[in-house]
Amino acid sequence: MRNAMLTVLGRLVMNLLTGDNLDENQKNLREEFLDTLCEHMHDINGFVRAKVQEETKQDVFPLFVAMRQRPQIMKLLPGQC
């Protein structure tokens, strides 16, 4: 169930909450979703942690991540600077 939720959050951020024309509410929602993804990086279940990595390591995803959160997310991923 958690993996499904993480997939939905990742897809919402990539498909709906990207771009320069977002209003303040949409930007705040994007930040909440990214915070939730980051929180699950420390989940006790390895499958959940792997799902977060899968969602955040996609080639397109880092291009759309808010600049404030990009270093935070990349720091959590193994093998990243």
Quickly tell me which residue has 């929180």 as its tokens. 39
Helix (H) or strand (E) holding 44: none
Which tokens hold the place of 71?
């270093």
pTM comes to: 0.67
75, pLDDT greater than 80: no
- Determine the Cα–Cα distance for residues 9 and 31; give it in Å rounded to an integer: 11
55, pLDDT greater than 90: no
- Determine the Cα–Cα distance for residues 16 and 81; give it in Å rounded to an integer: 28
Quickly tell me which residue has 């093998």 as its tokens. 79
So what's the pLDDT on residue 30?
Answer: 84
* Mean pLDDT (the chain, rounded): 77
Lowest mean pLDDT among 20-24, 29-33, 72-76: 72-76
